[in-house]
A and B are shown apart, each in its own frame.
Chain A
Amino acid sequence: MPKASRSVQLLNIVTAVLMLIALGLVFLYAPRERVMGEVQRIFYFHVPSAWLSFTAFVVTAVAGAVYLRTARPFWDQVASSSVEIGLLFTIMATVSGSIWARPAWNTWWTWDPRLTTYTIMALIYVAYLMLRQGIEDPERRARFAAVYGIVGVISVPITWFSIRWWRTIHPVVIGSGSATAEGGFDMTSKMLTTFLFANLAFTFLYATLLVNRVRLARFSERVEQLKARLLAA
């Protein structure tokens, strides 16, 4: 197995350092929120996770579109890797949101539109992975997955709009909040710094995971080729 290139190693280290600093900022630097208390610190992980899950799925759709144009397996590897990482971030956002919602809303889960849309989105990408598993021919698998990745990413914003007109209790910290939202707050400058830094760290985390996951996908492709050659010989 070839060693990771210099730039990948550097990216890994930078991400680790950034994540450590982000942790430090969240627990030591950011002030305690007056109403919600310590539990508000989840916000610094919850929002970046949610944002990066969206980013990951957009990356999947774009990589899928490029695959359909070029038919280069690399882009399929990017697309499928990004779905896996996106689902990871989706789980992180859901679990952290639940832990926060328990004290803030007095329930682990509500049928709030934002929560429901988010779960539907997660199911679209679970279906994406199941579709991949069900198709044996690698070329067709890549093609179909690309098509479904594009359909999925079109559907998510429409789902979002379709329920936006319902009232939501999910707080909107960035931008204008809804009158019915519960658990919103105004960020102080220290909070904002922490929040922005956490976003930066998580973006690096996504990039690192993606680069390494694509690397893994290429290795497993190589293994398949070597196996095929052994069998043929």
Chain B
Amino acid sequence: MQAEPRPAARPVATDLAQPAGRARHFLRVVGAIVWKDLAAELRSRELLSAMIVFALLVILTFNFALELDRSPAARERTGAGVLWVATVFTGTLGLNRSLAMEKDRGSLDGMLLAPIDRSALYLGKALGNLLFILLVEAILLPVLAILFNLPMLRPLLLGVVGLGAVGYAAVGTLLASLAMHSRSRDVMLPILLLPVAVPVLVAAVRATSGVLAASAWDEIAPWINLLIGYDVIFIAAAFMLFEYVVEE
């Protein structure tokens, strides 16, 4: 029995000579990288669960370290700080893993050999990291809302969390790819990343506590603007610098 000749594989729809085709191809590559990270995580389930447990541990430790059990006022004052410190620490964990895995399994070399744009590679990894941070936040925010009795689920606050996570993932992905090639890479990333990410932390904490205290928009707006500015500047910088990091 002769096999029916298989219909030719989906014709390559993207004409790389056309700008629109190139853009579509770029987005497909980015999507493929994000999907690859998600699929790997869905199968192993080791990173996300570790991040969530770690984030919860940070929150609970803060409760004792800052003696937050004493008064509701103390919890109100520190809620924003606890949220962001937990996010930053947990983010470091995720960033380290996500890039270290690429290197240890040799998949980074594979991706570098593929005929894809370096910036697509960066964007894919950064989006994957962002997704993981946001998933952790999705657990963290309701937990904090219950444990600290704070209105953590306001739409504006979700926006602030999103903006902060974008900036952190943008610069974190770039620096994690630096750190993974150094000798003591697990230690290296927080040292490289934390001082550079201070503006995100400052602006995000300020904006968050503004939202939690139901401050006027005029008081919150500058911090949100600063977050947007940081995001734009660092995404642009990382886009330009990433190719020098992976070039071999």
A: residues with CB less than 8 A from B are 68, 120-121, 123-124, 127, 130-131, 133-136, 140, 143-144, 146-148, 150-152, 154-155, 158-159, 161-163, 165
Contacts and interface: CB of A to CB of B under 8 A. Distances in A.
Q: Which of B175, B244, B245 has its CB near the most chain A CB atoms (within 10 A)?
A: B244
A100 to B, nearest CB: 25
A162 B199 contact: yes
Interface stretch (B60-68, B106-114, B137-145, B227-235): B227-235
Contact of B192 (A120, A131, A133, A158): A131
Given A127-B192, A154-B233, 6 more contacts: A131-B179, A133-B183, A147-B174, A147-B241, A151-B237, A158-B229
Nearest to A157: B199
Interface residues of B, number: 31
Interface of B: 171, 174-175, 178-179, 181-185, 188, 191-192, 195-199, 202-203, 222, 226, 229-230, 233-234, 237, 241, 244-245, 247
23 contacts: A120-B198, A127-B191, A127-B195, A131-B182, A135-B181, A135-B182, A136-B183, A143-B245, A143-B247, A144-B178, A144-B181, A147-B174, A147-B178, A147-B245, A148-B175, A150-B241, A151-B234, A151-B237, A158-B199, A158-B230, A158-B233, A159-B202, A162-B199
Contact of B188 (A121, A131, A151): A131
Instruction: Sort A-B residue pairs by CB-CB distance and give the 4 closest, nearest first.
Output: A134-B182, A158-B199, A162-B202, A162-B199
Nearest to B197: A155
Nearest to B226: A162
B226 A161 contact: yes
Contacts of B203: 162
B237 A150 contact: yes
